[in-house]
């Protein structure tokens, strides 16, 4: 069991971030799980999974607290106000399914519109939300800015920024695993930004084989903490 520090702690100043170099570009992996590209004024988040609780209820899977959309948008709001990006990319699985997108509650729609106002907004398609969404912004299956490609699921083509896997990791002394970025010199995988998202341990072979040996994980949480992926140990050989 661990205890976070006193109340003053969480609200201290600007959010910490870890600086990454991807194909010569400087990127900030922030402690809240968002990615900021200062030279482009671009903020990127992945796997929001808005509307998840409603989708689960619709499928007879239980009636979970219906606040995750509100919470995820609040976090996104904070990331946007801290960085004032001119462009925001949502890197896929922004909605738990297309019905969730069309069924978004009124106040969530309004909040989204406010966030979109005055900036470019790009929805990248994911496997959960593979079609166009009627919520403002531009819909693309992938986007390239200079050398960097933004897509939902990683491919062999690098340099690339993707999401989909919801990576998470734990360092000794931590109570439970935290969502994390995975980064090597040519590939970056974003953590899931949404409130109701589970995760895949970085020690899972799917992730381990995708990244190079010198890859690092950047843990989210109070601070962005980089750790060599190799130091996280493996549950398998």
Partner 1 sequence: MTALPPIIADWFKTRGWALHPHQQDMLDRSAAPATLLIAPTGGGKTLAGFLPSLVELSEGGHAGLHTLYVSPLKALAADIKRNLTTPVQEMGLPIRIEDRTGDTGYTAKRRQRADPPHILLTTPESLALLTSYEDAPRIFAGLQRVIVDEIHALADSKRGDQLMLALSRLDQLAPGLRRVGLSATVDDPQAIAATLARHPDPCPVLQADPGPDPQIEMLVTETRPPWSGGGAQYAIGEVLEQVRAHRTTLIFHNTRAQAEIFFHRLWLENEDDLPIGIHHGSLSRDQRERVEAAMVAGELRAIVCTGSLDLGIDWGDVDLVIQVGAPKNVKRLVQRIGRANHRYNAPSKALLVPANRFEVVECVAALEAARDHDLDGDPRGPGPLDVLCQHILIRACAGPFDADQLFAEVRTVGAYAGLSRAAFDDCLSFCATGGYAFRAYDKWQRLKQTDGLWHLRDPRAAQRIRMNIGTIQDADLLKVRMRRGNRVLGEVEEGFAASLTPGDRFLIGGEVVRYEGLKELTVEVSRTPGREPKVAVFSGTKFATSTQLSARILRLLNQGSWPNLPGHTAEWLMLQGEVSQIPSADRLLIETFPHEGREHLCLYGFAGQNAHRTLGLILTQRMEAAGLSPLGFVVTDYALLIWGLEPVDDPAALLDPTDMRAGLDQWLQGNAVMKRSFRGVATIAGLIEKNIPGPKKTGRQATFSSDILYDTLAKYDPEHLLMRVTRDEALHGLVDFGRIEDMLARIAGIDHRRLSRVSPLAAPLFLEPGKVPIVGEGRERLMAAETERLMAEAGLSAL
Which residues bind to partner 1, rule: CB under 8 A?
1-9, 19-21, 53-54, 57-58, 60-68, 70-71, 170-171, 173, 175-176, 195-198, 214, 216, 222-223, 225-228, 230-231, 233-237
Q: How far is the CB of 125 from partner 1 (least distance, A)?
A: 23
Cβ closest to partner 1, residue 96 vs residue 129: 96
Tell me whether strands 142-145 and 148-151 are parallel, antiparallel or unpaired: antiparallel
Q: How far is the CB of 167 from partner 1 (least distance, A)?
A: 14
- Residues 207 and 166: beta-carbon distance below 8 Å: no
Cβ closest to partner 1, residue 58 vs residue 139: 58
Distance from C-alpha of 230 to C-alpha of 233, rounded to nearest angstrom: 6
Q: How far is the CB of 2 from partner 1 (least distance, A)?
A: 4
DSSP string over 76-135: HHHHHHHH--SEEEE-S--BSSHHHHHT--HHHHHHHHHHHTTSEEEEE--SSS-S--SS
Q: How far is the CB of 135 from partner 1 (least distance, A)?
A: 19
Distance from C-alpha of 127 to C-alpha of 152, rounded to nearest angstrom: 8
Which residues lie across from 26 on neighbouring strands? 21
Cβ closest to partner 1, residue 16 vs residue 40: 16
Total number of residues shown for the chain: 237
Q: How far is the CB of 149 from partner 1 (least distance, A)?
A: 21
Q: How far is the CB of 219 from partner 1 (least distance, A)?
A: 8
Cβ closest to partner 1, residue 68 vs residue 125: 68
Distance from C-alpha of 34 to C-alpha of 45, rounded to nearest angstrom: 5
Cβ closest to partner 1, residue 118 vs residue 235: 235
* Cβ neighbours of residue 188 closer than 8 Å, sequence gap 6 or more: 20, 22, 27, 35, 160, 161, 162, 181, 182
Can you read off the two tokens belonging to residue 186? 């040519």
Cβ closest to partner 1, residue 127 vs residue 141: 127
Can you read off the two tokens belonging to residue 14? 């600007």
Q: How far is the CB of 234 from partner 1 (least distance, A)?
A: 8
Cβ closest to partner 1, residue 85 vs residue 179: 179
């Amino acid at each position: 069991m661990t205890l976070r520090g006193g109340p003053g702690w969480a609200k201290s100043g600007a959010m910490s971030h870890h600086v990454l170099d991807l194909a010569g570009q400087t990127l900030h992996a922030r402690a809240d799980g968002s990615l900021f590209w200062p030279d482009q004024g671009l903020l990127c988040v992945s796997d929001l999974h808005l509307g998840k609780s409603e989708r689960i209820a619709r499928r007879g899977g239980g009636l979970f607290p219906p606040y995750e959309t509100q919470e995820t948008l609040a976090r996104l709001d904070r990331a946007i106000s801290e960085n004032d990006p001119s462009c925001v990319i949502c890197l896929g699985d922004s909605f738990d399914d297309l019905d969730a997108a069309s069924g978004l509650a009124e106040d969530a729609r309004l909040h989204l519109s406010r966030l979109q106002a005055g900036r470019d907004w790009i929805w990248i398609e994911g496997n959960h939300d593979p079609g166009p969404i009627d919520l403002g912004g531009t819909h693309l299956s992938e986007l390239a800015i200079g050398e960097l490609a933004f897509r939902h699921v990683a491919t062999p083509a690098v340099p690339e920024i993707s999401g989909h896997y919801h990576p998470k990791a734990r360092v000794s002394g931590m109570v439970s695993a935290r969502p994390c970025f995975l980064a090597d010199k040519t590939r970056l995988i974003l953590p899931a930004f949404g409130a109701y998202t589970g995760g895949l341990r970085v020690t899972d072979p799917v992730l381990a084989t995708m990244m190079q040996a010198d890859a690092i994980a950047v843990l989210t949480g109070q601070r962005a903490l980089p750790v060599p992926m190799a130091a996280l140990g493996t549950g398998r050989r």
